[in-house]
Structure 1
Amino acid sequence: MKRLMGVATLGVLVLGLALGACAPQKPPLGSEQNPLVMVFVPSGESEEIKRGGEQLAELLSKKLNMKVKINLASSFAAAVEAMGAGQAQIGWLNTLSYLLAHEKYGVEVILATVRFNQTYYTGQIIVRADSGIKSLADLKGKVMCWVDPLSTSGYLMPRILLKANGVDPDTDFAKTVNAGSHPNVVKAVYNGDCDAGATYVDARGAVEKDLPDVKEKVVVLATTAKIPNDNVSVVKDLPADLKEKIRQALLEIAASEEGKQALKTVYQIEGLQKVDDSFYDEFRAQLSASGYKLEDLVKPAK
């Protein structure tokens, strides 16, 4: 009986090995069948992000000698989940999206973007020049336009600013609208669809080509405290040597004429700078002092 059981066990083991050998192997990462995927958040005009992103993917493919393609996420949260689900290995994330991705999935920052020679920026609250709104208190009872609940400058920081000035962003507005992108918020305020809106400084420039008088018709009511710039992040299980190759390749791309043009197209980026997670320590302290918790901030706005 023992011998029969041994033979049966051996048979199961051999069968398991045979099945394992027959199981299809996933193509290597970076191959045509299994490309590296870069995900982009929808913080600007989708066509521009797509065009600049594809340029960057092509340049990175050549540098790494690997196939790279892009994924333009439908929302900030979708970009985070794409990285968490292994559907994207590289993410161009804003501050709040990165903090969430880092906390939930261990996503690691490798580069910060540079604009105006700085790795920080600010948010703003805008209104029509003829609205009669002169102070943050005047926003009570008005229609407010947000970018997205995971937008740092178009949601989080303006909410902190409003609360500090006696305006409750959850109860003091007649209505709130998630416009989906910074240019959309500017257009909504310009067209009078919203009385006020929150964007990065100065998102009005992103629509100036189509609306040449936007800076006359739409004015800045208030600005927020400093915010770390958006970044380039990678999933935690990417091999360490590949993470470093990606970082170095993107730094080299950012120094080239083709790369500069692609970065400008995708998010008006002027350069890239090497950083690690400590880059966000000051912002985390500011967030903690405000009384907000990350898990509360990522809930959809009312």
Structure 2
Amino acid sequence: MAGPVQAATRGIKFGLTPVFLSNDLELLDQLRTFLARRTGLEVVLVQRRTYEEITSLLISGQLTAAWICGYPFVSYREELALVAVPVWRGQPLYRSYLIVDADRHASSLDDLKGDVHAFSDPNSNSGYLVTRAALAKRQWRPEEFFRHSFFTYGHRNVVRAVASGLAQSGSVDGYVWEVISEIEPELTGRTRVLERSELLGFPPVACPRRSQDTPETLALKRALLDMNSDPLGTEVLKELRLDGFSDAKPSVFDGIAAKLALVRSLG
């Protein structure tokens, strides 16, 4: 195993948004242990209920870095910088899924007018912005198109809402839906993917732009980029169903930025 990256003696505060694995304490501990071992620094994982809370902590400099979403990254592009972008199925990209009940006869978003719809988080790309942009193209806002919509604050919760009938349709992270399909096939089996978005930038690890060259941030970046060459890192990646992390360019998120601009143009 390669030795730890040399860095300053201050610790790393690493923020995590509420994704499907947030309750997997063993996996979170493995991630923390790997990062601490590889950086040679104390690592504290910081979790909050919403994307907004983690993004606020990140922008204010209270976190070294955070695994956020492409939506807040493009929203605060002047304040944030990329640390690393996960690679899934060979690319630093993923899709948003529009899901419905497995037995429902519907063929497109247009068939969902008047639904009770489940979103993940108001600052989620796949769990909100993609559908919001698709409606904006049709000159609709969610509150006009859907009879009712609500936020579940978790992609797995969107799947649960649709599977249980609490919602008639939902917007969810395609990566999360696919992973749940592996570990809880009986849950996703009660839903059906109605539409898949185009490929978009995978939720990145970002840091405050003003601290992107600090020893702590650089140590974290190296640890993530080298994760698939470390036995414990490889095990964490296996659990996450990820190939590794890449040094992707900010342009990977241009598609998300275009959707945000479209939504803003509707007012």
Pair 1:47 & 2:20 matched: no
Following superposition, the deviation at residue 268 of structure 1 comes to 3.4
Following superposition, the deviation at residue 233 of structure 1 comes to 1.4
- Aligned equivalents of 2:260 and 2:75: distance in 1? 13
C-alpha spacing 1:254/1:53, structure 2 compared with 1 (3 Å): farther
The equivalent of 1:292 in structure 2 is 264
The equivalent of 2:205 in structure 1 is 232
Task: Provide the aligned length of Structure 1 versus Structure 2.
Answer: 259
Query: Which runs of 5 or more structure 2 residues have no equivalent in the other structure?
Result: 1-6
Q: Encode CA deviations 1:88-127: one digit per residue, 9 max, x unaligned.
A: 1111111012223434xx2210211100001111111100
**Which letter maps to 1:44?**
F
Following superposition, the deviation at residue 47 of structure 1 comes to 1.3
- Aligned equivalents of 1:168 and 1:101: distance in 2? 23
- Aligned equivalents of 1:291 and 1:132: distance in 2? 28
Q: In the alignment, is the contact (CA less than 8 A) between 2:81 and 2:212 conserved in 1? A: no
C-alpha spacing 1:188/1:259, structure 2 compared with 1 (3 Å): same
The equivalent of 1:138 in structure 2 is 111
The equivalent of 1:256 in structure 2 is 230
Q: Encode CA deviations 1:212-252: one digit per residue, 9 max, x unaligned.
A: 33444211111222210111112234362513332122222
- Aligned equivalents of 1:54 and 1:234: distance in 2? 21
- Aligned equivalents of 1:230 and 1:141: distance in 2? 30
Of 93-102 and 208-217, more deviation after overlay is shown by 208-217
Q: Encode CA deviations 1:9-33: one digit per residue, 9 max, x unaligned.
A: xxxxxxxxxxxxxxxxxxx9744xx
Q: Which one of 70, 82, 93 corresponds to residue 109 of structure 1?
A: 82
Q: Secondary structure at the match of 2:37?
A: helix
- Aligned equivalents of 1:216 and 1:244: distance in 2? 42
Identity of aligned residues (%): 22
* Superposition pairs of residues 172-187 of structure 1, within 5 angstroms: 172-187=145-160
Following superposition, the deviation at residue 195 of structure 1 comes to 0.1
The equivalent of 2:4 in structure 1 is none
Q: Secondary structure at the match of 1:213?
A: helix
State TM-score, norm by structure 1: 0.76
Q: In the alignment, is the contact (CA less than 8 A) between 1:110 and 1:234 conserved in 2? A: yes
The equivalent of 1:154 in structure 2 is 127
Query: Which runs of 5 or more structure 1 residues have no equivalent in the other structure?
Result: 1-27, 297-302
Q: Which one of 114, 119, 122 corresponds to residue 92 of structure 2?
A: 119
Give the superposed CA RMSD.
2.5
- Aligned equivalents of 1:244 and 1:45: distance in 2? 25
